[in-house]
């Protein structure tokens, strides 16, 4: 994360020089702007993951660092978008996700909801044109990932329109959607096929995948079965998606459960008192990335812990 911060500042400085018409190619006098733009696009992808990790909190100290990268992706959608490919659907959904802010006014959140509804309508129309039987396994997984993130963003936008945004019990409204998310995450991760390797070799992906949604689910959904299924997916599969690590995400999610449930036997979300629920989770990596400093916001304040 520290290298990412420095990289963002270096790219921002290089792009300012390019925009001034300067050459950054040394004595050759040849502009390396195309290379800088490729690196900038790469950092924009990582910045998207960071944005999802901080939950759209523009007051977070990382927000100022990633905002120059994310300006590339803050594109206004047409009122009635049309989608012609899975990649186009994915890109436009990520652009919507980048317009989310935790401190949105009610008017802003409703406007975002309207844009999201337009995307949903366009995506449903696109899906009707697709013959699922003709899709290969990669495309099927990509569609499942879109369905996963569709629900992920839907829940976050819907939460903004609740009378009390800080009420941790409101997430119980979307237990059915959380349950669907687990199913789509299983399919998107290719974990629903009979020939999944038993040794679970490590997997690395640069794009946003299943981990942000699964971590969100496991920390917000209080249904004991659903959240544990999400954690099990992260814990039993060694996945690295950019800055997201499945093992670390599972550890933090399990700690959330421990703080909320304690020694009680929880059979449903109703068994977890609102005062016992974790409201937010904040993660900070140490300089040598040897540990994580994790903060859990409870009704009485923040609890800070170190996690190896």
pLDDT higher than 50, residue 19: yes
Give the mean pLDDT of 14-34.
64
**Is 18 within a domain?**
yes
For residues 266 and 155, the answer to whether their CB atoms sit within 8 Å is no
pLDDT of residue 72: 40
* CA separation for the pair 49, 54 (Å, rounded): 9
As for how many domains the chain has, the answer is 1
pLDDT higher than 80, residue 113: yes
* CA separation for the pair 218, 214 (Å, rounded): 6
pLDDT of residue 101: 85
Cβ contacts of residue 228 below 8 Å, gap of 6+?
Answer: 257
Task: Provide the percentage of residues in the chain whose pLDDT is more than 70.
Answer: 77
**Is 126 within a domain?**
no
Give the mean pLDDT of 74-81.
61
* CA separation for the pair 167, 299 (Å, rounded): 10
**Is 15 within a domain?**
yes
pLDDT higher than 60, residue 194: no
Q: Model confidence over 29-73: pLDDT tens digits?
A: 666 677 777 776 767 777 777 777 766 666 666 666 667 666 644
Print the SS3 string covering the chain: CHHHHHHHHHHHHHHHHHHCCCCCCHHHCCCCHHHHHHHHHHHHHHHHHHHHHCCCCCCCCCHHHHHHHHHHHCCCCCCCCCCCCHHHHHHHHHHHHCCCCCCCCHHHHHHHHHHHHHHHHHHHHHHHCCCHHHCCHHHHHHHHHHHHHHHHHHHHHHHHCCCCCCCHHHHHHHHHHHHHHHHHHHHHCCCCCCCCCCCCCCEEECCCCCHHHHHHHHHHCCCHHHHHHHHHHHHHCCEEECCEEHHHHHHHHHHHHHHHHCCCCCCCHHHCCHHHCCCEEEEEECCCCCCEEEEEEECCEEEEEEEC
pLDDT of residue 148: 98
pLDDT: which is higher, 285 or 186: 186
**Is 150 within a domain?**
no
pLDDT of residue 200: 65
**Is 250 within a domain?**
no
- Quote the domain boundaries for residue 22: 1-74
* CA separation for the pair 247, 250 (Å, rounded): 5
pLDDT: which is higher, 50 or 92: 92
pLDDT of residue 44: 73
Classify each residue of 259-297 as buried b or exposed e, where b means 16 or more C-beta atoms within 10 Å of its C-beta.
ebeeeeebeebeebeeebbbeebbbeeeeeeeebebebb
Q: What's the mean per-residue pLDDT of the chain?
A: 84
**Is 59 within a domain?**
yes
Q: Where do we find the tokens 């009704």? A: 299
> What pTM value is reported for the model?
0.82
């Amino acid at each position: 994360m520290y290298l990412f911060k420095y990289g963002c500042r270096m790219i921002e400085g290089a792009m300012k020089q390019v925009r001034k018409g300067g050459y950054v190619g040394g004595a050759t006098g040849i502009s390396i702007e195309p290379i800088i733009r490729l690196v900038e696009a790469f950092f924009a992808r990582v910045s998207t993951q960071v944005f999802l990790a901080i939950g759209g909190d523009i007051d977070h100290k990382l927000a100022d660092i990633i905002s120059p990268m994310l300006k590339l992706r803050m594109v206004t959608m047409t009122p009635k978008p049309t989608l012609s490919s899975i990649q186009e659907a994915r890109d436009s959904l990520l652009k919507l996700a980048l317009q989310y802010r935790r401190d949105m006014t009610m008017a802003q959140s409703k406007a975002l909801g309207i844009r999201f509804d337009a995307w949903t309508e366009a995506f449903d129309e696109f899906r009707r044109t697709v013959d699922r039987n003709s899709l290969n396994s990669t495309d099927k997984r990509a569609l499942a990932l879109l369905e996963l993130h569709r629900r992920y963003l839907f829940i976050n936008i819907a939460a903004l329109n609740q009378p009390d945004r800080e009420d941790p019990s409101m997430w119980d409204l979307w237990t059915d959607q959380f349950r669907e998310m687990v199913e789509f995450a299983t399919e998107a991760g290719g974990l629903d096929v009979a020939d999944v390797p038993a040794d679970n070799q490590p997997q690395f992906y640069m794009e946003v995948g299943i981990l942000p949604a699964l971590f969100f689910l496991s920390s917000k959904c209080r249904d004991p079965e659903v959240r544990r299924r999400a954690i099990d997916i992260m814990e039993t599969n060694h996945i690295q998606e950019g800055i997201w690590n499945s093992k670390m995400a599972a550890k933090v999610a399990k700690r959330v459960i421990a703080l909320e449930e304690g020694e009680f036997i929880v059979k449903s979300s109703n068994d977890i008192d609102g005062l016992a629920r974790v409201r937010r989770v904040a993660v900070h990596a140490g300089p040598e990335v040897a540990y994580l400093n994790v903060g859990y916001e409870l009704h009485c304040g923040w609890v800070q812990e170190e996690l190896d």
